[in-house]
């Protein structure tokens, strides 16, 4: 079945905010706890995208846990999973199958299955104008500055400045804009 949720139909009332011109395409992936999500004006969410805050029916009070800015495009099959805070700026573009999360499971308790260990939450911030390439993964605690391009398949953790190209596993800065001489390769060590 094809369809969409827009600011012009009753589905919008499930969200904390769904801006004018925003649309979520059907079929969606997982979608729950919409009351803790704010999606900005003109943002388009592709087919098969999962938007999840916490666990189904978890109570976050009055908090906005997942914010997607204005004019964004969330590519088909992407997943955004927020437990603490995921903040995506304006004009951010996701390729297909991007994964963003602010939570990792623990693994140190040897007698407890990893999926049952206490999780660690760290907020994620993606700055205005970023591009996230196909299949990239944004891990807890990541901060991307403005206009950061993330290469396809990159696994990103750490903080990255404005105006850079990052890629690899783990991601590192590949090129960066310098005021004095423009874009150039940057041989920086991985941001761990």
- pLDDT value of residue 182: 87
Domains and CATH numbers, the chain: 4-185 (2.160.10.10)
3-state secondary structure of 162: coil
CA distances from 162 to 106, 107, 175, 190 (A): 31, 33, 11, 16
- pLDDT value of residue 122: 97
Annotated active-site residue in 105, 163, 177, 178: 105
Q: Establish whether 105 is a catalytic residue.
A: yes
Splitting the chain (192 residues) into consecutive groups of 10 residues, what average pLDDT does each group show? Answer: 61 84 92 96 96 92 96 98 98 98 92 91 98 98 98 98 97 92 72 44
- pLDDT value of residue 153: 98
Residues 6+ apart with CB under 8 A from 101: 79, 80, 81, 82, 86, 124, 138, 139, 140
> Token pair for residue 111?
């007698």
In 45-184, where does DSSP find H-type helix?
none
- pLDDT value of residue 178: 87
- pLDDT value of residue 131: 98
Q: Residue 70: how many CA atoms within 13 Å on its side-chain side?
A: 3
Q: Residue 90: how many CA atoms within 13 Å on its side-chain side?
A: 5
């Amino acid at each position: 079945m094809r369809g969409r949720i827009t600011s012009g139909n009753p589905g919008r009332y499930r969200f904390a905010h769904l801006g004018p011109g925003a649309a979520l395409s059907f079929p969606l992936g997982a979608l729950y706890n919409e009351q803790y999500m704010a999606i900005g004006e003109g943002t388009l969410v592709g087919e098969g995208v999962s938007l999840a805050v916490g666990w189904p029916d978890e109570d976050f009070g009055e908090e906005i846990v997942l914010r997607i800015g204005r004019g964004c495009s969330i590519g088909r099959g992407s997943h955004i999973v927020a437990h603490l805070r995921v903040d995506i700026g304006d004009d951010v573009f996701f390729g297909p199958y991007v994964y963003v999360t602010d939570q990792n499971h623990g693994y140190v308790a040897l007698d407890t299955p990893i999926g049952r260990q206490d999780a660690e939450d760290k907020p994620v911030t993606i700055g205005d104008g970023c591009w996230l390439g196909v299949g990239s993964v944004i891990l807890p605690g990541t901060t991307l500055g403005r206009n950061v391009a993330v290469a396809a398949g990159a696994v990103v953790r750490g903080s990255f400045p404005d105006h850079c190209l990052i890629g690899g596993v783990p991601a590192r800065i590949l090129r960066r804009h310098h005021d004095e001489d423009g874009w150039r390769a940057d041989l920086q060590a991985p941001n761990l």
